Amino acid sequence: MIGTDIAIDLGTYGIKIYVDGKGIVVNEPNVVAVRVENEEVIAIGSEAYAMLGRTSDRVKVIRPLVHGVISNFDLARYILDRYIRQVGGTRMVMPRVVVSLPCQITAVEQRAVVNAISSVGVRRVYSIPEPVAAAIGAGIDVCTPHGTLVIDIGGGTTDMGVISLGGLSISQSLKVAGLSFDDAIIRYVRRTYDLIIGERMAEDCKIAIGGVLDRPQPAVYRVKGRDANTGLPAFVDLQSSELIEPFLDPALEIVRVLQGMLEKTPPELLGDVYVDGIVMTGGTAQLYGLDQFISDKVKMPVHVAQDADICVTLGAGQSMKFIEDMDNKQYGVVNPLSEVY
């Protein structure tokens, strides 16, 4: 399998790896459990995520990426090395890698990602903006002279852009995404019920009953934590309707940035977007009512892509067909990839 190509979606919530000819072979939480006394890694992925909020003072659970960029280089490199070896074993030698990156990542942040990947032994590293990868994964032909607006709402960042001829005509990125909705739940429960809950409980609650619009059938979820007054265990049964108000702030921030981007979009491309509608991808795009909420605010149809949570990974994997054009110097061919190493 020498020369096997792989695609990596290195996100705040999780890491996904696509292997050419096999599809997605790794889909794990992007967390690491470390022993405090000697910084030894004791677990990664799902095993480490199970420890989140449940560790002793001898173990800490760390997310190597925060808001889509690397915050702990050594742990990010460790995770990449483990999973790249896992998908290839001893048969894969020096693969070529396509990595999806936030659309407005700085040169320093991009270099940190590229260095982390290249340090584990690869031949070439190519990058693709997350909105472009998401569009490809959603089944959109990005190489035509036609405008498509994609909003990718992940765990740490929301990336949006208008795509035409294989590139971004205009884009925006903001650090408001899934974690922001989790934090809104934590703050609401603490303020309203004097109950302190953890990150995992908030995420489970968001997935179970979270939404920005009223549900036809109200839902209830029991959140458990510590009473802020007594310090004793306590619980509260939350109604789905209660979460609408705390969710409005992050939802409106996404809308505000989207409206600002639309105002700067070339009119021809905006006309295409108005006809086709907006495509939403990412795990948080599946939050109940978020697509309708955005549609009401911008007066355009909004569609949630099929398999929204893995669109970026699928698109990065499908974009590997453009590697040969780039390596063979096929100039004049529209190519969404950029060689960065």
CATH number of the CATH domain containing 54: 3.30.420.40
pLDDT one-digit tens code per residue, 216-244: 999 999 999 999 999 999 999 999 999 99
pLDDT of residue 322: 87
- pLDDT surpasses 70 at 332: no
**Integer Cα distance of 295 and 6 in angstroms:** 35
Residues 23 and 109 in one domain: yes
Contact 181, 204 (CB under 8 A): no
Please give the mean pLDDT across all residues of the chain: 91
- pLDDT surpasses 60 at 166: yes
Residues 19 and 93 in one domain: yes
Residues 6+ apart with CB under 8 A from 192: 242
pLDDT of residue 308: 94
Residues 6+ apart with CB under 8 A from 95: 3, 4, 5, 6, 84, 88, 122, 123
Integer angstrom CA distances of residue 84 from 26, 97, 300, 309, 320: 9, 10, 41, 21, 17
Residues 181 and 267 in one domain: yes
pLDDT band of residue 341 (cuts 50, 70, 90) is: confident
Residues 329 and 185 in one domain: no
pLDDT of residue 135: 96
Residues 269 and 197 in one domain: yes
**Integer Cα distance of 122 and 88 in angstroms:** 12
- pLDDT surpasses 50 at 12: yes
- pLDDT surpasses 70 at 333: no
pLDDT of residue 307: 93
pLDDT of residue 2: 47
Contact 45, 31 (CB under 8 A): yes
- pLDDT surpasses 90 at 21: no
pLDDT of residue 85: 84
Contact 163, 135 (CB under 8 A): yes
Residues 113 and 180 in one domain: no
Residues 20 and 127 in one domain: yes
pLDDT one-digit tens code per residue, 58-116: 999 999 998 888 999 999 999 998 998 888 644 446 788 999 999 888 889 899 998 99
Contact 294, 303 (CB under 8 A): no
Strands 32-35 and 40-44: antiparallel
**CA geometry: angle 282, 284, 289, nearest 5 deg:** 120
Name the residue range of residue 263's domain.
142-305
Strands 233-239 and 32-35: unpaired
Looking at the structure of the chain, the number of domains it has is 2
Residues 170 and 291 in one domain: yes
Residues 43 and 124 in one domain: yes
Residues 120 and 162 in one domain: no
Residues 106 and 234 in one domain: no
pLDDT one-digit tens code per residue, 108-140: 989 999 899 888 888 889 999 999 999 999 999
Burial tier of 199 (Cβ tally within 10 Å: 0-12, 13-18, 19+) = middle
pLDDT band of residue 1 (cuts 50, 70, 90) is: very low
Residues 83 and 148 in one domain: no
pLDDT one-digit tens code per residue, 262-301: 999 999 999 999 999 999 999 999 999 999 999 999 999 9
pLDDT of residue 90: 44
